[in-house]
Copies of this chain bind each other. A is one copy, B any other.
Amino acid sequence: MDDLMPDETTIHTWVLLARAGRTAVEAVEAELKAAGLPPLGWYDVLWELERADDRALRPFEIESRLLLAQYNLSRLLKRMEAAGLVDRRPSTEDGRGHIITITEAGAAMRRRMWPVYARAIEAAFGARLSGSDMLRLSALLERVVRGAEEA
């Protein structure tokens, strides 16, 4: 338990981080919406499923990868299932659990979303830093994020 107060630079940087993260996400969300596509959270779930072995994951695995609350994901998956992008079936190994798989429509949706997502990243973010500065930023954020995972 650390009781120290942050210095001015730390406070200022924290505010910048919060704002930069928010505006970065909002810029992408706005482009997706303008293109008539689902929000970022849907993309994240589809992508995790597509990368996974057998294109299948248990809900608790998606939660830990995306840092989502259980009840939050439960309802997100319900919406995505209603949209035909994922399937859910009971697990045979663990009677408490479900298994989520991505459907062909889900994979197709992810493919439609990607170019919009990627171009929004480039326009709202990538174009602002050189390649070497991007690497520097990446290394610094990596340490911020890694630290948060240990907590």
Contact = CB atoms under 8 A, between A and B. Distances in A.
B22 A122 contact: no
Interface string A59-97: 000000001000000000000000000000000000000
Interface residues of A, number: 52
Contacts of A7: 126, 131
A24 B143 CA distance: 13
Interface in A1-44: 2-7, 9-14, 16-25, 27
Contacts of A141: 13, 16-17, 20, 137
Specify how many copies of this chain sit in the oligomer. 2
A112 interface: no
By secondary structure, the A interface counts as helix
A104 interface: no
A111 to B, nearest CB: 14
A44 to B, nearest CB: 9
B13 A137 contact: yes
A105 interface: no
Contact of A122 (B2, B123, B151): B2
A135 B17 contact: no
